[in-house]
Amino acid sequence: MDRAQKEKLVEELGQIFESSGVVVVAHYAGLTVAEMQELRAQMRDAGGSVRVAKNKLAKIALEGTPNASIADLLNGMTVIAYSEDPVAAAKVVDTYAKENDKLVILGGAMGGTALDVDGVKAVAKLPSREELIASIAGCIGAPASNIAGAIGAPASNIASILSTIEDKAAA
């Protein structure tokens, strides 16, 4: 890798660190190629990405970013998982680490906040953006359906009373 390629990689990593909602750093020693591809596929399905980069270049890219404090985690065979959704990458990595003990979570960052292992696991337990939107939409829609039901109820009650009176009159 020549100097121009390294500079380009540092720039890409810098953009990743600045624009991602969450970044998770983990050791992946012992993972097979198939297991790594499975992790990448799960992350892609969740809207995130997985990147293996040289630690030295990643540390250079972290300089001056809000998550510069995670540079200490970049030792050994590390993988960087990230997503714009502040929960997606943490969820996928946490779930995968539970299934495969070769992937060891070291920590991460959410915005300017550094996360330890427990912090990453706590973020993973939060609902995703889509789940939050669905729950908010449900809360907004519930009162409207209750109002519509309350408005329509007297009319249906009157209709059933009239139908009962009509049936008695016909008999």
Overall average pLDDT of the 137-159 stretch: 65
- One-letter amino acid at 85 equals D
Assess contact for 100 and 31: CB atoms under 8 A.
yes
Asked whether residue 145 carries a pLDDT value surpassing 70, the answer given is: no
Q: What are the pLDDT digits (tens) for 30-86? A: 899 999 999 999 999 988 999 998 889 989 988 877 778 888 888 889 999 999 888
Q: What are the pLDDT digits (tens) for 107-126? A: 998 877 888 889 889 888 88
Helix, coil or strand: residue 80: strand
Alpha-helical runs (H) found in the chain: 3-19, 33-45, 55-62, 88-99, 117-125, 129-170
Q: What are the pLDDT digits (tens) for 88-112? A: 899 999 999 999 989 999 999 887 7
Please provide the average confidence, as pLDDT, over all residues in the chain: 84
Tell me what pLDDT residue 114 has: 86
Tell me what pLDDT residue 159 has: 67
Q: Using 50, 70 and 90 to split pLDDT, how confident is the model at 15?
A: confident
